[in-house]
Amino acid sequence: MFLVVLSSTLILFITYHLYHYTLHLKEVNRVKHIPGYSFYSYFTLKLFAPQQDFLFSPRSQELNAKKFGKHNIWRITMGTDTICFVVDPEHYKDILVTKAKLFRKHPLFNNLNIDYRVKNVFTDYGDSWKRERRLTQPSFSDENLAKILKEHVHRISNRLVEKIWERRNLENNCVVINDWMRRVTLDVISQAGFGAQFDCLGNEKDILPLIAKTIVQVYSAGLLFNRRYIEPHAHVQQKLREEVIREVPLEGIDFDLYQNKEKLIYARNVLNETLRLKGPVHTNTRYTLKPVEIAGKTVPKGVTVEMKFCVSQMDKEIWGEDTLQFCPERFERPEIKDLLKQNRYVFIPFSIGSRTCIGMKFAEMEILDVICRMVRNFRFQCQNQRDVREVAGITLKPADDIVIKLERIEL
């Protein structure tokens, strides 16, 4: 009896894998004209390429861009699924603007702690998405953003300064900044977006598991990477502080920041350089609705296409030989200014086209407000700069705690 059960199980196991291997070969044949890699399953991918994360690692995609050519398209086929990759800004234009109707938001986003049965502006597509976008857009008008900044963001940023100093380690004046950035982000989003006051800055309990973490991760990761890059560069801190004091008078910071945002040239350069090097949205994903030509290759229907911003935003041909260095002054260089005017697609940290991040201005103003408040009140220094690893998934974020030492500035 045991042998019968064992034999039956073995036959079922072999039949199952033969069937799926046949489907895998069919998928490989469908996309064989696109250069790349083929693996029967994710397990075999990790078995034969254990040192690199072919799906998410920015470093891995840099190597693939060199291998296949950065102006070309390449793929990874796992089982019956194929993911294509592009790193050329001209291809971003095709996917996000010129041929945008041939793509949709990837179905994966339906699983991000958002009820997929409810239509929403983040995951929907087609006519229903257009209606949702049209209804949502007025909430992010200049008038509303100025009101939100004045009534909510300033107050919450002030509270951040108070709480972060109050709860610092009294022995060394150090704090772990990760949790504080998540909390201030959640307080801003909940108050400005939903009229709810969670008071995460004052609540020591972690309520993040109760809300949609992914949205918070995108905003807070931008703040975290901004802290990480500003802290080791004392001259950046000082130059930033001088601009804030000069352009945003202390008595006016609660009222005029939105109107004076164009005067904060260096602060915006710091933000842009942070987003260039470590943008939370390091990749953008689409799903083909019909066969579409990209880089001279026909990508079949039902294929995932990933645009790796993290690669093009580190391209030496675009950004210069010092592309790996944190240099906010980069955005003041005449050649970079001219390039950004001529080709909008070389730097799109909030995407571009009809699906540009609807909260782009909101995110920029939140980060600028927190930056202004922090540099005006503190000098800070990262205590573990070299030890902080990153994890790349749908968003890029620090995998480890970022510890900073605070020095209070008397106003």
Binding residues for heme: 357
Binding residues: 357
Name the helix (H) or strand (E) containing 119. Answer: none
In three-state secondary structure terms, 397 is: strand
Pairing of strands 396-398, 103-105: unpaired
Taking the mean position of all CA atoms in its chain, how far away is CA 273?
14
- What secondary structure letter does DSSP report for 169? B
- In order of 133, 156, 168, 197, the CA distances from 144 in angstroms are 16, 17, 34, 19
Ramachandran class of 170: left when φ > 0, alpha when ψ lies in -120 to 50, beta otherwise = alpha
CA 281 to CA 284: how far, in whole Å?
7
Q: Which tokens belong to 183? A: 């909390």
Q: What is the rounded CA–CA span in Å between residue 25 and residue 105?
A: 27
Cα-Cα-Cα-Cα torsion 336, 339, 343, 347, nearest 10 degrees, comes to -10
The structure tokens listed for 52 are 């690199």
Between the two ends of the chain, the Cα-to-Cα distance in Å is 84
